Amino acid sequence: MNGAARPLPSPTDAANLPHWVAAGKGQLMVARCDHCGVFRFPATRLCAHCRRDGAHWEEVSGQGVVESFCVFHKAYWPGFAAELPYTVLVVRLDEGVRLYSNPAHRQSCPAIGQRVRATFASAGDGMGLVLFRPDEETTP
For residues 50 and 59, what is the distance between their CA atoms, to the nearest angstrom? 21
Q: Which is nearer to another protein, 91 or 137 (CB)?
A: 91
Q: Taking the alpha carbons of 24, 132, 77, 68 in that order, is the dihedral positive or negative?
A: negative
Strand arrangement of the beta sheet that strand 39-40 belongs to: 39-40, 29-33, 55-59
**Shortest spacing between CB 129 and another protein, in angstroms:** 6
Asked if residues 28 and 118 have their Cβ atoms less than 8 Å apart, the reply is yes
Binding residues for another protein, how many (CB under 8 A)? 37
Q: Which is nearer to another protein, 63 or 101 (CB)?
A: 101
Considering only 61, 85, 108, 138, the residue that binds another protein (CB under 8 A) is 85
Residue 22, H or E segment = helix 17-24
Considering only 11, 25, 36, 68, the residue that binds another protein (CB under 8 A) is 68
For residues 61 and 25, what is the distance between their CA atoms, to the nearest angstrom? 15
Please report, as residue ranges, which positions from 111 to 140 form the binding site for another protein (by CB under 8 A).
112-113, 123, 129
| Residue 101 binding another protein, by CB under 8 A | yes
Using CB under 8 A as the criterion, what x/- string covers residues 8-47 for binding another protein?
A: xxx--x--x-------------------------x-----
Cross-strand partners of 129? 121
46 secondary structure, DSSP code:
B
Interface contacts to another protein, rule CB under 8 A: 1-4, 6-10, 13, 16, 42, 48, 67-74, 76-77, 80, 83, 85-86, 88, 90, 98, 100-102, 112-113, 123, 129
